[in-house]
């Protein structure tokens, strides 16, 4: 398995991280798997719970303002 960095914060994934369960995987539309560090995973979960778009490996997702019902 290649050692890669978190695409959102550039934290390096170490061999110890590969053996553990702290990092999460994000499956991309092209079939690739991106590994997200624990801190960014928590941020991604917050975005999901807030019904916001999740960040992608190419760039963090911009905040989307909520639209209030009329």
pTM, 2 dp: 0.62
In sequence order, the β-bridge partners of residue 34 are 26
- Alpha carbon distance 46, 30 (integer Å): 24
pLDDT tens digits, 6-50: 888 889 988 888 887 889 888 877 888 888 899 888 888 888 888
What pLDDT is recorded for position 16?
84
Q: CB within 8 A of 59, min separation 6: which ones?
A: none
Q: Could you tell me if 33 and 25 are in contact, meaning their C-beta atoms sit under 8 angstroms apart?
A: yes
Residue 63 has pLDDT above 80, yes or no: no
């Amino acid at each position: 398995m290649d050692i890669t960095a978190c695409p959102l914060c550039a934290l390096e994934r170490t061999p110890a991280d590969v053996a553990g369960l702290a990092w999460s995987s994000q499956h991309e539309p092209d079939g690739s798997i991106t590994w997200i560090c624990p801190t960014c995973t928590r941020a991604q979960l917050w975005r999901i719970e807030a019904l916001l778009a999740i960040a992608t490996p190419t760039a963090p997702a911009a905040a989307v303002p909520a639209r209030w019902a009329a």
